[in-house]
Chain A
């Protein structure tokens, strides 16, 4: 997953879907593609689920940037 970014993964998922739907693969090849697609889409789901909401502000303190939680004023 690290070598492929989210966008590339999504493209790959589309590719797999098209190949599978074409139906000219052998059953074994189809199964391999199916598993690959399911694995990749699961990984994408995991990335989405594991993301955490973070709104921060970078403040310069003693010459270094410190990341702190940020709440915009209402």
Chain B
């Protein structure tokens, strides 16, 4: 058997022709993860598509890259439409990509928006339903993975703020199939057994797919139904999950959630001290005020010279008595004058005066006689003079 010797170029051309004859390879959809991504200045994109076990080189020429609605990057899971062919110069086969979309992502976004709108309409995000986070929880329940930075960050921040903090970790898977169900169960368990005063649901950053359990309807409803207040801290500050909207408080990061759940003990102790001082000062001030009032009272004249007021009253009394005496005297004098005048008047009218001038009053049997005809001979009459009486007989 004789072999035809061929050149490398001829071989590669041959192989290329074989590839191009194959219908399947000419129009293929491949899914995988992007790595070694390079966006060349010419506008072409060069990268490798891989899965757990294998990889293949890819190129996307400028004419196609313009149509992409996202910027590919390493680690992104994509589906590529293209042709598998051979690059003869290097002797490698690769995918000549014509189109590319992010795997699942479009669907997830749509699902997220749809569920968000639905739950919002139902009132699951309503502010009125949100429970108050206790100011000083005795026990903080944390639902997250028991490995990794999240629980460590929460413990570190919490113990820094309160060295005597009580944290209960109920470990749950935070991504992948079945995670949502486990998270729901954990929320229910915490509630049924009242294992904490507040719950932190936490997860580190990740892709939308990684965070997906926190966008599941069952998780949202479990959070809504929880009697224990829940702080949600899922992903980075820029990631918003449905859990964040429905929970009672959203923390931008797990560390921030610990800050929101645990008060700074130093501050509280300082506050308590301030209160005690305020009480003492207020009471001292009160005492001072009362003392001042007492001093003022004692300084008043009544207490300083009690007799003075009495003496003053005496003086007033004396004056009053004197006045009264004077008034009585003067009244007496008036009355006496009036009486003398009246007596004089009386004196002028008295018949005695007339008698002194030689007149007499004639009486017969006790009656005053003012006519000679009333008397007859022999009547005995009585004559009254100014200085006495005499009996006489009519002749």
A residues with CB within 8 A of B = 5-7, 10, 13-14, 16-17, 20-21, 23, 25, 27, 30-31, 33-34, 37-38, 41, 44-45, 48, 51-59, 65, 67, 70, 72-74
Contact = CB atoms under 8 A, between A and B. Distances in A.
Nearest to B156: A72
Given A5-B135, A23-B286, A58-B170, 10 more contacts: A6-B135, A14-B275, A20-B286, A45-B272, A48-B268, A52-B164, A52-B166, A53-B163, A67-B168, A73-B147
Nearest to B151: A72
A23 B285 contact: yes
Contacts of A37: 275-276, 279
A6 B137 CA distance: 9
A70 B152 CA distance: 11
A17 B254 CA distance: 36
A54 B146 CA distance: 16
Contacts of B152: 72-74
Nearest to B153: A72
A58 B265 contact: no
A53 B283 contact: no
B166 A65 contact: no
B135 A10 contact: yes
B265 A70 contact: no
Contacts of B159: 53, 55
A58 B142 CA distance: 10
A34 to B, nearest CB: 5
B134 A45 contact: no
A57 B169 contact: yes
27 contacts: A5-B136, A6-B135, A7-B136, A10-B271, A17-B282, A20-B282, A21-B282, A23-B282, A23-B286, A27-B290, A31-B283, A33-B279, A38-B279, A41-B272, A41-B275, A45-B269, A45-B272, A48-B265, A51-B165, A52-B164, A53-B164, A55-B155, A57-B169, A59-B171, A65-B193, A67-B168, A70-B169
Contacts of A38: 276, 279
A26 to B, nearest CB: 9
B272 A20 contact: no
B136 A6 contact: yes
Interface in B251-304: 265, 268-269, 271-272, 275-276, 278-280, 282-283, 285-287, 289-290
Contacts of B269: 45, 48
Nearest to B269: A48
A17 B268 contact: no
A72 B19 CA distance: 54
B17 to A, nearest CB: 57
B195 interface: yes
Identify which of B193, B276, B285 gathers the most chain A CB atoms within 10 Å of its CB. Answer: B276
Identify which of A14, A31, A56, A58 gathers the most chain B CB atoms within 10 Å of its CB. Answer: A58
Contacts of B280: 34
Nearest to A12: B275
B39 to A, nearest CB: 39
B352 interface: no
Contact of B146 (A5, A34, A44, A57): A57
Contact of B279 (A17, A27, A58): A17
Interface string B156-180: 0001001111111111000000000
Contacts of B285: 23
Contacts of B155: 55, 72
B151 A13 contact: no
B136 A20 contact: no
Nearest to B286: A30
Nearest to B268: A48
B189 interface: yes
A7 to B, nearest CB: 4
A55 B167 CA distance: 5
Contacts of A23: 282, 285-286, 289
A31 B164 CA distance: 34
A13 B275 CA distance: 7
B146 A30 contact: no
Contacts of A17: 275, 278-279, 282
A13 B271 CA distance: 10
A71 to B, nearest CB: 9
A55 to B, nearest CB: 5
